Amino acid sequence: MTQPPLISVLLSVYNAERYLAQAVESILNQTLTDFEFLITDDGSCDRSLPILQDYAAQDARIRLWQAQNQGLPRSLNRMLAVARGEFIARMDADDISLPERFARQVEFLRAHPQVVCLGTAQDWIDEDGERLFSYIPDTANADLQTAMLAGHNHLCHPATMMRRAALCAVGGYDENLRSAQDLDLWLRLGEIGELANLPEVLFQYRLHFNSISEKHLKQQSANAQAICQRAWQRRGIQGEYTAHTVSWRHRLLLQVGWQTFNRGKRRKAMAHGARAIRVIPFNREGWRLLICALIKPIPGEPT
């Protein structure tokens, strides 16, 4: 019987043909190569499956499954059940892992056996791969746990590496949750070990603004609040939920919109202004961004 790999990478794919090759290659090009790459095509109706089949034919580390659409938690649990690695690394089909990600995460987990889940800082990029800003999250367990219990998710799910034993001990992902499954998992893992983030940027997280409606954001916030309440009950504490997904998304749209405007990207700025208006229609800041993007000279642009 062959030696089990050090890491099992879990990737669930659904209609991700635009970015899929870049995501897969970012894993295959890791400097730490001792891993198996478990991929499920979760009922894609675009070219995702043929792309994945091509990669699987070229690299023996890839184990590929095709399934009817079952949702992310169930897809991940099915792969977790057959994973052989000591560590479980997550990945999403539109993000990019920088080459040293696995090496640095394994190094840290080896040196800190009490840590059961480890994330990293990230560069946030837009749909075209342009860098928007760097996000350096809390790194210490106490700060992360405090934030999580209030609903603030400071672990980027696709950038995490977990101990498989710990992940199995808490029962994996809750398949009844349609959103905020990662926050639920972090809170349960945080009850049997510590959480941490590396402060260095080892991941590029792609922001998509078109796909999530205000209705969905409100449901996501309600799910997160219920998840926190269950964690408070398990831990026997009085908690306070302070995360507000809709207002956070609105602020992010405005921040990215003004950044893109100042970089001379008028159309992108207009799009972000329009999206901010859809999230909170009667907030004048979204309208201000949209109008400025329409008529105001861009900094450095000839008048």
Over the stretch 173-216, which tens digit does the pLDDT of each residue have?
999 988 899 999 999 999 999 999 999 999 999 987 654 445 57
pLDDT attached to residue 14: 95
The HSE-up count of residue 54 (CA atoms within 13 Å, CB side) is: 10
- Whole-prediction pTM: 0.88
pLDDT attached to residue 303: 44
pLDDT-flagged residues of the chain (< 50):
211-213, 303
Question: How does 245-279 read in b/e, with b if 16+ C-beta sit within 10 Å?
Answer: beeebbebbbebbbbbbeeebbebbbbbbbbbbeb
Contacts of 178 (CB under 8 A, 6+ apart): 71, 219, 223
Residue 209: both structure tokens together: 């603004």
pLDDT attached to residue 272: 76
Cross-strand bridge partners of residue 198? 120
pLDDT attached to residue 137: 94
Q: Exposed/middle/buried for 46, CB within 10 Å: 0-12, 13-18, 19+?
A: middle
pLDDT attached to residue 123: 96
The HSE-up count of residue 37 (CA atoms within 13 Å, CB side) is: 26
Strands 131-135 and 62-67: unpaired
